Amino acid sequence: MSNPKWNRLGEEQRKAAINDLIYFFEKERDEKIGVIAAGQLLDFFLEYVGSEIYNKGVIDSKRTIEKRLEDLNYDLDDLLDAQ
């Protein structure tokens, strides 16, 4: 079975996130939730905000690369022989 487009987690990441949700509910909310409920909660967040968070990361990375490329262009211009 393939992952839906919004689910970009690998199996180990998914298991860790589910365990973290279970732990969070126990420690912070004094509630017990099971693996199925934690998985459904994770899926809900991945589906509704996961793409936005992913896209923001890509946009931020793109801006960082563009800034670095601009800096490299200035550095290379400084290396040109004066004419």
Is 36 inside a domain boundary? yes
Overall domain count for the chain: 1
What does the pLDDT read at residue 39? Answer: 96
Burial class, 46, CB count within 10 angstroms (exposed 0-12 / middle 13-18 / buried 19+): buried
pLDDT tens series, the chain, 83 aa: 456 666 778 999 999 999 999 999 999 999 999 999 999 999 999 988 988 998 999 999 999 999 999 999 999 998 988 65
Is 55 inside a domain boundary? yes
Is 5 inside a domain boundary? no
What does the pLDDT read at residue 69? Answer: 97
- Cα 50 from Cα 48, distance rounded (Å): 6
Is 4 inside a domain boundary? no
Is 6 inside a domain boundary? no
Q: How are the residues of the chain apportioned to helix, strand and coil, as percentages rounded to the nearest 5?
A: 75, 0, 25
Convert the pLDDT of each residue in 14-24 to its tens digit: 999 999 999 99
What does the pLDDT read at residue 9? Answer: 86
31, two tokens: 């509630």
- Cα 63 from Cα 47, distance rounded (Å): 25
Is 59 inside a domain boundary? yes
Count of CB atoms within 10 A of residue 38's CB? 19
Is 21 inside a domain boundary? yes
Domain that holds residue 47: 11-79
Is 2 inside a domain boundary? no
